[in-house]
Each structure stands twice: as C-alpha cells, then as structure tokens.
Structure 1
Amino acid sequence: MSDRSLTLPTILVIDDEVRSLESLERILSDDFDVKTAATIGAATEVLENEWAQVVLCDQRMPEQTGVEFLKTVRERWPDVIRMIVSGYTDAHDIIDGINEAGIYQYITKPWHPDSLILTLKNAVRLYELQRENELLAVEMKMSPSVAKKVVVNRREALRRDYDFDDGIVRGPDSPMNKVCETLRQVAPYDVPVVLTGASGTGKELAARALHYGSLRWNKPFVVENCGALPDQLLESELFGHKRGAFTGAVEDYVGLFERADGGTVFLDEISEVSPAFQVKLLRVLQEGEIRPVGSARTRKVDVRVIAATNRDLEEEVRAGRFRADLYYRLAGMVIRLPALKDRRDDIPVLVGELMQRAEAKLGKQVPGISAEAVECLKGYHWPGNVRELQNEIQHLLVVGEEGRELGAELLSRHILRAAPAEEEEAAEDVIAGLDGTLKDRISLLEARIIKETLIRHRWNKSKAARELGLSRVGLRSKIERYGLANVKPLPARRAATS
C-alpha cells in the first residue's frame, strides 16, 4: 500500500459496467483511495477486509439492487456512509433507499465530475463527524463537565464563523455592508425572513448569520432544499412520518421541523414548492404545529423560518404560482442579496479568503495570486456569483504549481476574454447589435481574443502570434490598433483578506 493511499479517504465504488467503473475510478483517484467491485460478492469481500468510509453503489446490479445491498451494509457496517448512483429516478427506489438503507445521497446519471467529487467529500466529512460524535459520547459518559465545555466551545466557534463582520467577507465600501446591517437589526427579533437574490450570492450564509445572531443561536439550524424533492418526500422530510405510512416507511422518522424545535429552519428554493404543498406549509406556519405523515396527532413546534429564493416572489404571487397568504406569512422581512457583478470591489477580498480555504481544503500552498489575475477576475460578470468565483479559485489552485504564484494565464478562457468592468455594458450593446457596425462588433471580439491569448502566453508576442496565425508585425499592428500596447502585467501581490 502506498503512503499516498494512507492519507486519502477510502471510497468503494460498485458497478457491473466495466467502463463506468473505470471512468469513476479515473475521476475519483486524485482525491480518494478508490476500491472497485463489479459484483456484490466482490464488494462484500472488500468491506470485510478494507476500511472504507463511503460506499457508492449502482442501483441496477445483477444479483440484487443497490438499495438491497446497502441495507445489508447498514446492518453490518453502520458507520459507512451509503450512496446510490442510478440512471433511473423512480420515487419508490428513492423512498426505499432513504428509509431502508439509510442512503445519504441518491445521485442520478449523468453526473457531473466536480459535483460528484464535492458530494463524496461531504460524505467523508459526515463520516468523520460521526466518529467525532462517538468519541464525544464516550467522553460525556466519563466526564460530563469536560464534554459540556467542548460542546459550548464548538457552538461559540460556529457563532464567530457566521458573525456579520467576520463571517460575511466583503470590502470596506461594499454593497453588502447595508445588507449585513439589516441582517444585524433583524436577527434578534423572532420574525420570518425571505432572502432573495441570484443563485450563488450567499443566501444560506446570510441565513446562518441570522440564526447565530438570534436568541436561538444555541439551538439547531437545519436546511432543506425544497426544489430537490417531490411533495411526498418533502412532507416526510420536513414533518416526519409514522411507520407504515407509505411503502418503505419501516420505522418512525422525526422531521426537520421537530428536530429544529427551538431553533431555525432554512427553506431554500421556496418558490419551487408545489401549490398543493404550499397549503400544508401554510397550515404549519399558522398553527405552529406539524402532523407527521400517517399520524392522527399533531405536535407543537417552535421554530423560526427563513426562506430563500432566486425568483421574485411578489411576481410569482401576481402570476398565481405562489399563494399570497403563504408569502405574507414568510415575508416578515425581505432582504435582497446583491449579485457579485454589483460588488466588484469585494472580489480581491473574496479571492484572498477563498484562496485560504482552497489551500486548506486541497492541501496545496502557493505564495499568492498576481494582481493582473485579480484585475481579470474583477472584469468578469460572474453569472454564478460567489459560488462560481469559488470554483475558479479552486481551478487556479489545481492547475497552478505548488510554491509558485498563480498568474492570469491560468484563468479560464471565458474570464480572460471578458471586457473590463467599465466597458462591459457598452461592449454588450455592440455585440448584441444595439450599437455599432459589423466591423465594430468583429473588432471588439478580435481585441478580446488577442488580449486573452497574450495573457495566457505571459505577453510573449511570438507565441501569441503563432497561435493566432499572425506574423509578429501583424500582431504588433493589432495591439497598437486596439490600445493593448500599454497594457502590461501588473506587479505581483497577495490578494487582501478580511
């Protein structure tokens, strides 16, 4: 066994299709010690002889279904995190997986490599947290006062992590300052809040800041993505169910509302809830009580509800897609989070913070990121907002050399080709044909491509000309025509952090 495999978490991948198995092994091998099995028997043998944190099993196996096998895994190796990957999304399979096999995640094909890797890393972290909780339980039995102190310290650390000043990273004159001040004012009051803004703007981070700034901060904070589950599963997940309530309900299940009693429930993508389920949710908010699926009795719960959406809920109400009475129950306060393109001066600060997190996560250190790269990042319009910026920083760190500064030439091409921030709106008008001749539009695109190519080749004109199919004289002429002659790489510096 190599030293490297000893440092990586172990994932067992089970699939009877050899090509699929090889593909998964190739994609995951950089981040995990991957064990593979093409049969249930081989998978059982691996688990009997190896220490695996996560099992990723295909649902359609010849001997038995993935859910049936993972039910056995749950009985014999209960600590192992169990996941299903399948090209089929049958609701009964999902329900059986959640209830019988305790499935952590049901992944549908085709899966995206980055998303799959992130999900598996979260599963490994869950495994580690389970082990930590087991040790904590032992410690509590042996020394309750010490264990209590550990729990209190961890809660205090969480509260600091989501503080309005330190937890939400921004610059001194950021548009987020006004948002954070509003969050600070609202947090202590027990009113429901709707957070709006495009995907990736940090709505969950804002919800956590509200929770940890409230009087409920030492109680649970639970999250549910309402757009990810059909009504029956969502009702079960939020309100719980009784054994035998539906096929696959083999035991009682406590819903998130009951688990969060005294704390906060964060309902993400609330606009995706169906009209039928909106009625059920409204009743819970009105009465302050839930009724688990299959139960004749209601239970009182005391929770604060924070909802989030990337849609305009008032417009959804006017269009008849969202109930007005539910909206007014949820919208005690409405707080809008600005898009990253509207807070470009925050980008250097965010880059510094995200770089530190990526270095810790990937175990790779670099001296910093060049000022030229930061300027390019500021010039991009970021449709995916902070989440997209986080992915780009991880991309930079992965493709860069350890111990060497990250330069602009490592950035994704679509970012390098973006216009400077002050030119973006005018450039979009020209390209879209709102202004300018065909020659103007072609010239604008040509200038962007030349600039992107020069940056990638670290302003080596010979290499750039060769790639573009130009002579050095021809390239020099275009550089002068488009005003790129005075654009030089900026001196390197470490991006500032908050």
Structure 2
Amino acid sequence: MTRMSTLPTILVVDDEVRSLETLQRTLDDDFDVKTAATIGEAERILEHEWVQVILCDQRMPEMTGVEFLQHVREKWPDVIRMVISGYTDATDIISAVNDAGIYQYITKPWQPDHLLLTLKNATSMFELQRQNEALSIELKMMPGQVNASLSDKREQLRRNYDHDDGIVRSPGSPMNGVCEHIRQVAPYDVSVLIMGESGTGKELGARALHYNSLRWDKPFVVENCGALPDELLESELFGYKRGAFTGAVEDRIGLFERANGGTVFLDEIGEVSPAFQVKLLRVLQEGEIRPLGSSRTRNVDVRIIAATNKDLEEEVNAGRFREDLYYRLATVTVNMPALRQRRQDIPELAVALLEKTMQHLGKQVQGFTNEALACMQDYHWPGNVRELQNEVSHMLVTCRGDQLGADLLSARVLRAAPRQESPLMESLAEIDGSLKDRVEALEARIIKETLIRHRWNKSRAANELGLSRVGLRNKLERYGLEKVEQLRSPERVAVQ
C-alpha cells in the first residue's frame, strides 16, 4: 500500500536528466518531488497528482517553459508556476511574468538555500490561496449573517465616536473645544487638515470626523505618506496594472478605490514630494485617479482628511508645499493641542491607557497612586499621548505589587521640574539670584526624587545621598518636603 505523503507536492520539469536528479536530491527532504522530462509526462502527472508548485525549465524541446506554464495557467490555475533557466533574456522574463503569471523566475546556477526558501514561500502562497477560496465560499453561503455582522460592528464604532469622539478628556479640558469643532465640521463633505505634534491623536480626530459624518458606514482607510517613496505611495493610493513595474504580476486596486464612498486619511502629508503633490491635487480637483501602467482614469468619491506635524503655511512660503494643494486640503483646519497644554487630562488619559494595556498584556492592577499621577502631571511629555502610552506600559510590566506607584516611573519623568510644590519650594525655583539659592533649589528637587524612588523610606534615601537620617530630616524641614510627604497619601486611583 502506497504511503500518503504529508509534504507539499512539487513538479520539476526539465529535459536534462542530471538537472532533474540534482533538483530532486536538493528538494527531497522538504517536498514530495515529482519529476518529468517531457511536457507530456508533466501533463499526465498534473492530471493525477495534487501538485502545488511547478518548477519548469525554460528551454524544453516541445515548447518553451513559459508556453507550457501559460497552458497550465488556463487548465490548472491554482498551481503556483515558476521558471528555472540558465538564460536571462529580458523578453523571456517579461513574457513569463505577463503571459504565464509566473511567481518567480530563477536563474542557473541556483543556490540550494535560496531555492528551498523560494519554494517554501510558494507552497505557503498556495495554502493561503486555498484558505481564501474556502472563506469566499463560506461568505457566499451566508451573506445575510456577514452583512449583519458588519453592520453591527460599524454601528458600534459609530456609537463609540458619537458619544465622546473616542478622545479621553476631563470636563474642563482644552480638547472639549476641539471635539465640539469636530462634531460641527464632520457632517459637511469638505476636506479637513488636522495639525499637531506627533503623538497628539491626529488619527483619532480623523476617525471621529469620519464616524460622525454621512460616510460613517463606508470604509475609512489610512496611509502614512512619510513612510513611502513616491512610486510606492502612488501604487498604494492609485493602484496599478499588471506589468506596470517589476513584481506587478496582477492588477491591484489602490486605497482611493477601496475607500470609494468613504474617507481617506493621509497622515504626514507635509512629507509628500512636490512631484507627488501635483498628482494628489488632481484627485482633489477632478475626483479621478489613474493607476500605474493604465491609460485610463477612474472616478472616485472620497473625503480626504490630511494631517501634519509641520506648519504648512510656512512650508508654502518656503516653496516646499504647493499653495493650491494646501488650500484644497485645508478647507477646515483642526488643531490638536499638545499633552503639556492639557495637563488636567493626564490622570484620565493614564487610567484609560492602563485599561487597554492591561487587556493587551493580560496583567491586572488596581490603578495608580495619587503620587504617581501627580508626577505624571509635572512632566512635559514631548512625545505626547504616545509617550504616555509607553510609560504606562513600562510601569505595568515592571510592577510587582497591586498598584502603580511613582517609583515605577522612568527617570526622565520622575526628575521633571515640579509645577506645584510647597511655598518654599516655589520661591526657591523662581529665584534668579545667588548661586547658593539656585543650588538649594536643585538640592531640594534631588532629595524629593530620591525619596519617591525609595517610596519615602528615609533611611534608604539618606544612605544613597550620603546623609545621616538626622541630616536628611533637617533638609526635609528646611525645604518644606515634610509637608509634601504628608500630602502623598497611599490612597489609590482605581481603574474605573
């Protein structure tokens, strides 16, 4: 009885016996290798075996490898097709890609490791194709359930953004005016430019605009314009035709077409080159795109929301950004304040970020101490909400107890200049006078930071600072830090 192989099946087609034997020895450990010295033999194998990948020599007696694989494409379209050849004629390669839909064109002499890796990737692609087909069949069998599920998820997203714009803030936050501006602008089908420092939540503002608009039930797609060169950005946004460039083995729909009827969010728009700005302007003016390699334009109906951390007016004046594109993008502008400009939001933001981080990491704590939140409010957060998120993650990972205390904060946060201290501390920090006064203000900050790290254990703090316990107590009294210590109760700020 023939034992069924569990390895992926590969068919190697080559009229040279030695080449067949060499390939079989190389691939035999990782694949179920079938060999054929003629086209007819190869077809018989394809009719009786479940072949996943064909590796065919280009120079065959009956026909070229590309011609045979073109025939395979018509009769067995699921099989991944590859050509192996000692000839690197450009015409052959182009024909292989365009006519036979070749996955890879491998040149001789080949490297065993590279060939094995390429074939493993090919068999993985075959399996992904099969899974995709199975999912497509399932979706066709239950379109009602799928549509209902999508509708429910979209409605849930809309409710989340409709309730509070998805932006966490306190009752008296500067963000309240921004969110009100977003709600006012959202229903109108105009372009919006969101400005603000990196990490201030510009994408969150864009999502709030989309889900409060009349396009809320259509796609919302995001592209970071600063992460890609012009050619890749153009292919991502506009799509391309098969053969438009090396590696374009099939037509691809761009993000503008995928988002048709919905919203496209272009992040880091200030990084786009002047050449690409012209192409983007056409989309805004005419509502049409042209995929790479195509001679025809296509109409698209999208709302564009752009974001930047640059001053685009300054970029326009410097000649780095087109004035006409700027005015097209900035029909309405939304300014996202930096986190240091909304310090009152930090406690609520930290708690909200902690909730998400606990879910993601699978670790639970009761919350932050008041002291930890006070120290967080003292820090200026140059990385804004993104930096705060990283700090919360750091605290949760390194926490050994059931609450996040100030001792878990990074040194840069813990050593931040305080905004509110005892009257004596405030007066010392504001003095512009003698060296002695300034040194004392610095000494007070160092003592406080050391006490926090040691959880107000005076013996440990005194030992690190090279002071006696009595000497430390005298300095605490002198700088008013005893009063600060008493205010730092162990009361916890719980996660709601």
TM-score of the aligned structures, taking structure 2 as reference length: 0.72
* Aligned positions of 1:127-142 closer than 5 A: 137=136, 139-142=138-141
> Aligned to 1:162, what secondary structure does the other structure show?
helix
Residue in 1 that maps onto 2:14: none
Task: Check 1:241–1:163 CA distance in 2 against 1; reply closer, same or farther (3 A cut).
Answer: same
Task: Check 1:375–1:189 CA distance in 2 against 1; reply closer, same or farther (3 A cut).
Answer: same
Given that 1:140 and 1:148 are in contact with CA atoms closer than 8 Å, whether structure 2 keeps it comes out as no
> Aligned to 2:474, what secondary structure does the other structure show?
helix
> Aligned to 1:214, what secondary structure does the other structure show?
coil
> Aligned to 1:266, what secondary structure does the other structure show?
strand
Residue in 1 that maps onto 2:468: 471
C-alpha separation in 1, matches of 2:393 and 2:283: 41
What is the CA deviation profile of residues 424-448 of structure 1, one whole-angstrom value per residue up to 9, with x for unaligned ones? xxx99x99x9944444443333322
Task: Check 1:79–1:312 CA distance in 2 against 1; reply closer, same or farther (3 A cut).
Answer: farther
What is the CA deviation profile of residues 113-152 of structure 1, one whole-angstrom value per residue up to 9, with x for unaligned ones? xxxxxxxxxxxxxxxxx99x99975553333322221111
Find out whether 1:443 has 2:425 as its counterpart: no
* Aligned positions of 1:290-329 closer than 5 A: 290-329=289-328
C-alpha separation in 1, matches of 2:299 and 2:278: 18
* Aligned positions of 1:65-80 closer than 5 A: 72-78=119-125
- Note the C-alpha offset of 1:185: 0.6
Residue in 1 that maps onto 2:416: 418
- Note the C-alpha offset of 1:69: 7.3
What is the CA deviation profile of residues 37-81 of structure 1, one whole-angstrom value per residue up to 9, with x for unaligned ones? xxx99x979xxxxxxxxxxxxxxxx95898x87764553224999
C-alpha separation in 1, matches of 2:170 and 2:117: 48
Residue in 2 that maps onto 1:392: 391
C-alpha separation in 1, matches of 2:147 and 2:194: 34
Given that 2:462 and 2:469 are in contact with CA atoms closer than 8 Å, whether structure 1 keeps it comes out as yes
What is the CA deviation profile of residues 236-292 of structure 1, one whole-angstrom value per residue up to 9, with x for unaligned ones? 111111122222222222111111111100000000111111111111211110011
Find out whether 1:196 has 2:195 as its counterpart: yes
Residue in 1 that maps onto 2:93: none
* Aligned positions of 1:162-177 closer than 5 A: 162-163=161-162, 165=164, 167-177=166-176
Given that 1:341 and 1:381 are in contact with CA atoms closer than 8 Å, whether structure 2 keeps it comes out as yes
Residue in 2 that maps onto 1:382: 381
Task: Check 1:412–1:235 CA distance in 2 against 1; reply closer, same or farther (3 A cut).
Answer: same
* Aligned positions of 1:107-146 closer than 5 A: 137=136, 139-146=138-145
Given that 1:371 and 1:495 are in contact with CA atoms closer than 8 Å, whether structure 2 keeps it comes out as no
C-alpha separation in 2, matches of 1:243 and 1:135: 25
Task: Check 1:180–1:468 CA distance in 2 against 1; reply closer, same or farther (3 A cut).
Answer: same
Given that 2:403 and 2:492 are in contact with CA atoms closer than 8 Å, whether structure 1 keeps it comes out as no
Residue in 2 that maps onto 1:120: none
Letter in 2 for 1:376: C
C-alpha separation in 2, matches of 1:63 and 1:418: 57
* Aligned positions of 1:227-246 closer than 5 A: 227-246=226-245
> Aligned to 1:267, what secondary structure does the other structure show?
strand
Residue in 2 that maps onto 1:52: none
Task: Check 1:289–1:435 CA distance in 2 against 1; reply closer, same or farther (3 A cut).
Answer: farther
Residue in 2 that maps onto 1:258: 257
* Percent of paired sites with the same residue: 65
- Note the C-alpha offset of 1:366: 0.7
Given that 1:160 and 1:166 are in contact with CA atoms closer than 8 Å, whether structure 2 keeps it comes out as no
- Note the C-alpha offset of 1:408: 1.1
Letter in 1 for 2:407: E
> Aligned to 1:238, what secondary structure does the other structure show?
helix
Given that 2:263 and 2:305 are in contact with CA atoms closer than 8 Å, whether structure 1 keeps it comes out as yes
Given that 1:197 and 1:339 are in contact with CA atoms closer than 8 Å, whether structure 2 keeps it comes out as yes
- Note the C-alpha offset of 1:162: 2.8
C-alpha separation in 1, matches of 2:165 and 2:333: 23
Task: Check 1:70–1:273 CA distance in 2 against 1; reply closer, same or farther (3 A cut).
Answer: farther
Letter in 1 for 2:473: R
Paired positions, count: 387
* Aligned positions of 1:9-408 closer than 5 A: 72-78=119-125, 137=136, 139-163=138-162, 165=164, 167-401=166-400, 404-408=402-406
Given that 2:161 and 2:208 are in contact with CA atoms closer than 8 Å, whether structure 1 keeps it comes out as yes
Task: Check 1:357–1:63 CA distance in 2 against 1; reply closer, same or farther (3 A cut).
Answer: farther
Residue in 2 that maps onto 1:58: none
Task: Check 1:356–1:321 CA distance in 2 against 1; reply closer, same or farther (3 A cut).
Answer: same
C-alpha separation in 2, matches of 1:389 and 1:80: 41
- Note the C-alpha offset of 1:395: 0.7
Letter in 1 for 2:241: K
Letter in 2 for 1:465: A
> Aligned to 1:443, what secondary structure does the other structure show?
helix
- Note the C-alpha offset of 1:481: 2.9
Residue in 1 that maps onto 2:86: none
Task: Check 1:173–1:438 CA distance in 2 against 1; reply closer, same or farther (3 A cut).
Answer: same
What is the CA deviation profile of residues 463-489 of structure 1, one whole-angstrom value per residue up to 9, with x for unaligned ones? 011112222233223323322121122
Task: Check 1:272–1:79 CA distance in 2 against 1; reply closer, same or farther (3 A cut).
Answer: farther
Given that 2:165 and 2:179 are in contact with CA atoms closer than 8 Å, whether structure 1 keeps it comes out as no
Larger mean CA deviation between 268-277 and 249-258 belongs to: 249-258
Give the gaps of 5 or more residues in structure 2: 1-25, 32-109
Residue in 2 that maps onto 1:7: none
TM-score of the aligned structures, taking structure 1 as reference length: 0.71
Given that 1:348 and 1:495 are in contact with CA atoms closer than 8 Å, whether structure 2 keeps it comes out as no
> Aligned to 2:480, what secondary structure does the other structure show?
coil
Give the gaps of 5 or more residues in structure 1: 1-39, 46-61, 82-101, 103-129
Task: Check 1:79–1:215 CA distance in 2 against 1; reply closer, same or farther (3 A cut).
Answer: farther
Residue in 1 that maps onto 2:478: 481
C-alpha separation in 2, matches of 1:368 and 1:206: 27
Given that 1:347 and 1:377 are in contact with CA atoms closer than 8 Å, whether structure 2 keeps it comes out as yes
C-alpha separation in 2, matches of 1:198 and 1:417: 23
Letter in 1 for 2:183: R
C-alpha separation in 2, matches of 1:339 and 1:278: 28
